[in-house]
Structure 1
Amino acid sequence: MDIENMRAFIAVAEHGSISSAAQELHQLQSNMTAKIKKIESEFETELFYRKPRGMELNEEGKKLYAQLKKIVLLWEETRSMMGEESPMLRIGLMVSKNPPNFNHAMGTLYDKYKNLAVTIKTGNTQKIEDEIASGMIDIGFLVGKTDARPLHYKKYGTERLVLIGKNIDKPLDSILQSENLIISSSQCYYKKVFDQLLEDRRMVRTDFVEIAALDSLISMCQLGMGVSLIPESDMAALGIRDYKVIDHHGCELEKFICYRKNHKITGIEQQLIDLIMNAD
């Protein structure tokens, strides 16, 4: 079995779809199907449940997926160490949200590559997309996407936004009407969620309070000077125990790894992606 067949299997397993995996790897759908059949033939067993709307790993497939992920990661390490590429990462991160396991992943790579050069740009979703499209950075970790640029997006999880503040025990309509709505910038993705919540209630607010520094934003909310939206997964790390879950589709966000369609993912980039996607 060659490395490209392994990548094909992993992509189908992660997307649950032959067509989506083919799009990611820039392959014909028929070629991807042939690769999966070849792997199943090699192990003389089916590895997926075939469903009307996609494919799902069966128990044998799950075992093989875990093993192939290790093999591909080891190959990427080998490819980097043998000098096929410069040890370099140019990354875009959200101002208010790093990917899970990011610090640990970077620590792992710094241990392996002592001369690793890293460039990190921060900003909102649109700014990171623009930086990638212009070639200033190569990959970005986004919460939400704008589809304003011809970029490739690989989903790696979901995130739920929750409302924080001192006066969040009131009805949501009252909060949206009377509290200061605090955002990091007028272009941030969370501002769009506030806009959706207001639009659904036929409310109009143009007096958003912008605070770029996350610590200051949280302090204002805790002091009762307004409310804001924060990823629920960050609550414990930020020391916030009280928050309000909002039942609205806009608060359920998808997380993406983003890169230019003509960009070939390097071994080091793939290692970073794998470490983040496999985070608990």
Structure 2
Amino acid sequence: MDIENMRAFIAVAENGSISSAAQELHQLQSNMTAKIKKIESEFDTELFYRRPRGMKLNEEGKKLYAQFKKIVLLWEETRSMMNQENPVLRIGLMVSKHPPNFNQAMGMLYEKYKNLTVTIRTGSTQKIENEIADGLIDIGFLVGRTDVSPLHYKKYGTERLVLIGRNIDKPLNTLLKDENLIISSSNCYYKKVFEQLLEDHHVVCTDFVEIAAFESLISMCQLGMGISLIPESDTAGLGIRDYRVIDHPACELEKYICYRENHKITGIEQQLMNMLATAD
């Protein structure tokens, strides 16, 4: 079994689409289709549910996906060792949202590479994109994208923003009109979501309350000093039981790993990306 065929299978599984996977791996769609058919022929079974809008792993596909992830991860570890790469990671993370298993993944890499050097810069989606484009960091983990720079984006999941505060049972247009709208910065991607909600509810807001420290932002909302948007997946860890799901497409965000188009991904970077990216 060719390692590139395994990568193709993983990419299709994680993107849910042959065309998206082909774009990610810079291959022709016909080549990707051939790779998937070859793998299914190898194991004499279908591995995906074929749907009008994409593909999804079936039960056999899920088993193979888990095995291929292990094999590719081991291959990247071997590549790093044999190429004698310096174990260096220069990463960008959003202030308000890290990949859910980021700490676990980093712990595993520190265990493997005792001399691992890590640089982490935090900020808004746009700030991280700009710093990658400028060469200050190499890869970033984002919620949403602005396309301000010519970067390569790899989708690795979805996230839903929810509303938090003490008075969130009121009508949404009333909340948007009467409450302080709290964001982490003027460049925060979640501000764009608030702006879309304001526009759709015909509410004019000329000012937002900016609180850079995420813990302080949460505390202000819990004290009833305003409302904010946060990822639903963070609510349990923050001890937030009362939040409001907003039925609006702007609150459904895609998560991306991004890097410069001319950046050659190192073995250790690929290991980290493989640990964090999973198929639904």
Compared with structure 1, are the counterparts of its residues 48 and 243 closer, same or farther at alpha carbon in structure 2 (3 Å cutoff)? closer
* 8 Å contact kept, 2:164–2:221: yes
| Aligned residue in 2 for 1:80 | 80
1:217 aligns with 2:217: yes
Q: SS in structure 1 opposite 2:23?
A: helix
State the 1:279 CA deviation.
9.7
Compared with structure 1, are the counterparts of its residues 244 and 41 closer, same or farther at alpha carbon in structure 2 (3 Å cutoff)? closer
| Aligned residue in 2 for 1:38 | 38
CA distance, structure 2, for counterparts of residue 224 and residue 185 of structure 1:
20
One-letter amino acid matched to 1:112:
K
1:184 aligns with 2:184: yes
Of stretches 244-253 and 270-279 in structure 1, the one that deviates more from structure 2 is 270-279
* 8 Å contact kept, 2:47–2:57: yes
CA distance, structure 2, for counterparts of residue 73 and residue 235 of structure 1:
31
TM-score of the pair, normalised by structure 1: 0.94
| Aligned residue in 2 for 1:123 | 123
Alignment of 1:152-163 (within 5 A): 152-163=152-163
Compared with structure 1, are the counterparts of its residues 220 and 111 closer, same or farther at alpha carbon in structure 2 (3 Å cutoff)? same
| Aligned residue in 1 for 2:113 | 113
State the 1:72 CA deviation.
0.6
Unaligned stretches of 5+ residues in structure 1: none
CA distance, structure 1, for counterparts of residue 215 and residue 275 of structure 2:
27
* 8 Å contact kept, 1:101–1:279: no
Q: Percent identity?
A: 82
1:193 aligns with 2:171: no
Per-residue Cα deviation, 1:125-158 (whole angstroms, up to 9, x for no partner): 1111111111111111000011222211111111
One-letter amino acid matched to 1:53:
R
Unaligned stretches of 5+ residues in structure 2: none
CA distance, structure 2, for counterparts of residue 182 and residue 101 of structure 1:
27
Q: SS in structure 1 opposite 2:203?
A: coil
State the 1:24 CA deviation.
0.8
* 8 Å contact kept, 1:100–1:279: no
| Aligned residue in 1 for 2:19 | 19
* 8 Å contact kept, 2:15–2:279: no
TM-score of the pair, normalised by structure 2: 0.94
Q: SS in structure 2 opposite 1:40?
A: helix
CA distance, structure 1, for counterparts of residue 8 and residue 228 of structure 2:
41
CA distance, structure 2, for counterparts of residue 54 and residue 162 of structure 1:
27
One-letter amino acid matched to 1:121:
R
Per-residue Cα deviation, 1:52-96 (whole angstroms, up to 9, x for no partner): 433333333332222111111111111122344210111100011
Q: SS in structure 1 opposite 2:68?
A: helix
Q: How many aligned positions are there?
A: 280
Alignment of 1:1-280 (within 5 A): 1-278=1-278
One-letter amino acid matched to 1:245:
V
* 8 Å contact kept, 1:184–1:211: yes
CA distance, structure 2, for counterparts of residue 90 and residue 97 of structure 1:
17
Per-residue Cα deviation, 1:233-276 (whole angstroms, up to 9, x for no partner): 11121122221221111111111111112222221111111222
CA distance, structure 2, for counterparts of residue 55 and residue 190 of structure 1:
30
